[in-house]
Amino acid sequence: MTFLDLANELVAGCRDGREKENLSRLYAADAVSVEAMDMGNGRETVGIDGIRGKHDWFDAAFEVLESTISDPMPHGEDRFGVIFEVKTRNRETGAVDEMKEIAVYHVADGKIVREEFFYGA
């Protein structure tokens, strides 16, 4: 899989609801995920199982009502960015919220090795 194939597949998987399936296909086993702020478990998560746990937490906590996901924006051949705009409903409180974040994915040896999320406070 080329760098652009990987970037396009990540976006396609996010659009189609295949994010978790793509973790084992597109990510290195020791990939690192970094949030802009601490959500209660620290900002950094290391490894596929930890990243999968983040996805599980999000799916359990929020219902996605709408989403727009940009095409990947390459930066050389080792990084690309994606803009996510998501409207969610908190499953516990029912509160509806809209969020926008930029994700930067770092690629090495054909796998995502680091993802970083940027969003407003």
What is the domain partition of the chain in residue ranges?
3-119
The answer to whether 60 and 43 are in contact (CB under 8 A) is no
Cα 28–34–40 angle (5° rounding)? 125
Q: Give the C-alpha separation, 111 to 55, whole Å.
A: 18
Confidence at residue 53, expressed as pLDDT on a 0 to 100 scale: 93
Share above pLDDT 90 across residues of the chain, in percent, rounded to a whole number: 93
Burial 71-102 (b: 16+ CB within 10 A, else e): ebeeeeeebbbbebebebeeeeeeeeeeeeee
Mean pLDDT score, 58-77 = 96
Residue pLDDT, tens place only, 3-62? 999 999 999 999 999 999 999 999 999 999 999 988 777 899 999 999 999 999 999 999
The fold of the 3-119 domain, in CATH, is Nuclear Transport Factor 2; Chain: A, (3.10.450)
Q: What is the pLDDT of residue 121?
A: 65
| Model pLDDT for residues 105-120, shown as the tens digit of each residue | 999 999 999 999 999 7
- pLDDT for position 30: 98
pLDDT exceeds cutoff 70 at 68: yes
Q: How many CB atoms lie within 10 A of CB 105?
A: 22
